[in-house]
Amino acid sequence: MAGSFFKGCFLSLFDYKTEKYIVAKNKKVGVLYRLIQLSFIGYIIGWVFVSKKGYQETDEAIQSSIITKLKGVSVTNTTESGLLVWGPEDYVIPPQGEAVLFVVTNFLETPNQKLGYCAENPKVLNGHCRDDKDCEEGKMIVAGNGIMSGRCLGKDENSTGTCEIYGWCPIERIFKPQGPLLTNAENFTIYIKNFIQFPKFTFSKSNVLDTADDSFLKKCRFDKDLHPYCPIFRLGDITRRAGYNFQDMATFGGSIGIVIEWDCDLDKGYSNCHPQYHFTRLDVSVSNKTIAAGFNFRHTRYFKNAAGESFRSLFKVYGVQFNVMVHGKAGKFNIIPTAINVGSGLALMGAGAFICDLILLYLMKKGNSYRERKFEGYKSNKSTSEDYSVEDRKGAKEQKNLALL
């Protein structure tokens, strides 16, 4: 007897239980339900699978290496610096070919500065004085150029002069850029060597043509159609594609973002994974004219004379910062994301039935009759169950209104 019981249990384990449905011959709700189903199927196929490629495993942890190199020369002639020839080793800061680089387009040299005493710059706040009491000895002003000696160097007895400071003298003169001094900087070219790897798929590629022809890189220029694998750009073209004029940016400086995008569908093979280049100006917001515009900094070159005394040249340089950023993702077919997306898509369809049930039961005129049919009152005909059979007769009517699914 016990044996046949467990045998029964085991057999019933493999009985298939399926939900019992009632057919509501209501065309309005039926059509609505089919429409909801169709829109979910459309969403799953169109959005999840075609647009988002939900059947693919993706790798977004792109590993990337950027090496940049500039070419081009420029000549400047200023009273302070004389006739100067600028090569990449001078106008690219830092020179080591990093992904973030600065190209000097304008500069002011203050040569032969020595440590000594001279007057503070009149543009410095709190540097003005009427007499020596305004210039406390040893005081340092945040935006100043040195330490106060305690003397006031007035232009005139009554007017505001400036305090004397101990610092690198002569002080840098006030400079309002009128236009870029490295006038042909827009003709410089930048060569952006980019190697990428997707470790998950052991896939690697470069943005430079796989060729043994050494002269290719000497002659080519980037062209989306003709030379997509020649990553050499004219600086003027980069700013133009970002929507700005190079000469305007060059006067006060600015910042340009170069985004290299690798969106690779590895199911289509190696040769279908191409880099895309986008250019944006990074240092302007909605209102074009702010006090925050421009990019400049100072650097120095130190020298020693025969007596061993230090002197230096101070350079205030304006220029354009280029910021090469690499984004990318790769996808490849994999059964696990496919199954998850199919499954969760099917599960989503339950939401459609939920909406239609609500309409059928609560919004249709004949809702009551559906409800009686859909919800079968529990009438114990075999077992005795007094605790809940009390309300049996009223049940069918009372469970009408609030029976949220």
Q: Known binder of ligand: residue 373? A: no
- The β-bridge partners of 209 are none
Q: Known binder of ligand: residue 69? A: yes
- Say how many C-beta atoms besides its own lie within 10 A of residue 239's C-beta: 23
**Span of 128-136, 144-152, 155-163, 243-251 interacting with a second copy by CB under 8 A:** 144-152
Helices (H), 215-311: 216-219, 235-241, 246-252
The packing angle between helices 335-358 and 27-42, to 10°, is: 160
Q: Give residues 264-293 in contact with a second copy (rule: CB under 8 A).
A: 270, 280, 282-287, 289-292
Contacts of 59 (CB under 8 A, 6+ apart): 198, 199, 200, 201, 329, 330, 331
CB of 134 to a second copy, least distance (A): 18
Q: Which residue of 45, 71, 173, 272 would you call a contact of a second copy, by CB under 8 A?
A: 71
Instruction: Note whether 137 and 143 are within 8 A (CB).
Output: no
Q: Which residue of 55, 168, 246, 262 would you call a contact of a second copy, by CB under 8 A?
A: 168
Which CB sits closer to a second copy, 155 or 379? 379
Q: Known binder of ligand: residue 71? A: yes
Residue 358 found at the interface with a second copy (CB under 8 A): no
Residue 176 found at the interface with a second copy (CB under 8 A): no
Which CB sits closer to a second copy, 40 or 132? 40
Closest CA to 235 of 92, 352, 387: 92
Q: Give residues 77-106 in contact with a second copy (rule: CB under 8 A).
A: 83-85, 87-90, 93-98, 100, 102
Q: Known binder of ligand: residue 297? A: yes
Q: Known binder of ligand: residue 400? A: no
Q: Give residues 325-344 in contact with a second copy (rule: CB under 8 A).
A: 325, 327, 336, 339-340, 342-344
- Say how many C-beta atoms besides its own lie within 10 A of residue 287's C-beta: 6
Closest CA to 252 of 284, 279, 280: 284
Residue 58 found at the interface with a second copy (CB under 8 A): no
Instruction: Determine the Cα angle at 42 with ends 40 and 45, to 5°.
Output: 110
**Span of 3-11, 129-137, 155-163, 242-250 interacting with a second copy by CB under 8 A:** 3-11
- Say how many C-beta atoms besides its own lie within 10 A of residue 251's C-beta: 17
**Span of 11-19, 129-137, 150-158, 238-246 interacting with a second copy by CB under 8 A:** 11-19
Q: Known binder of ligand: residue 272? A: no
Closest CA to 368 of 24, 90, 49, 17: 24
Q: Known binder of ligand: residue 78? A: no
CB of 179 to a second copy, least distance (A): 18
Helices (H), 245-322: 246-252
Is the peptide bond preceding residue 199 cis, with omega within 30 degrees of 0? Answer: no
CB of 70 to a second copy, least distance (A): 10
- The β-bridge partners of 69 are 191
Closest CA to 316 of 73, 78, 69: 78
Q: Which residue of 197, 238, 258, 275 would you call a contact of a second copy, by CB under 8 A?
A: 197
**Span of 128-136, 160-168, 173-181, 238-246 interacting with a second copy by CB under 8 A:** 160-168
Binding-site residue set for ATP: 69-71, 189, 296-298, 316
